[in-house]
Amino acid sequence: MGYVNAVKFSQTSHEAVSDIISYRHEAYIQGKTFIVVQDSEDEEQIRGVEFAEWNIPKGWQVSGDRIEITERGFCLGGIVSFEDPDGRDATFEIKAPFCERSQIETIDQE
């Protein structure tokens, strides 16, 4: 069961980080800036932007750099990590300007 859960975690984290590409298109079409990873304490300080939602399972945590996608669809890049309730962790680097991703690290606690 551990292997199956690890594969599911890997697939889900890759799919979630792929969603950034759709936010690039949305930002350009709508002419709005999107914030993809952001400390919730700062949300009230930023006006005129959309906060992107991650399509991840309940109980997962997302952390990392503030990744901004401009109204022209360009990505400012950064690091994003996903962690599931079992302690699995996947970290990705999102590269400017096109939000290209590369996985930096995976930790499987099982």
Q: What is the CATH number of domain 2-107?
A: 3.55.40
49 strand-pairing partners: 33
Question: What one-character DSSP code corresponds to residue 69?
Answer: E
Pairing, β 33-35 against β 49-51? parallel
Mean pLDDT of all residues belonging to the chain: 85
Per residue in 43-65, pLDDT (tens digit) is 555 666 777 778 889 999 998 88
Per residue in 23-39, pLDDT (tens digit) is 899 999 999 998 887 65
The pTM score is 0.82
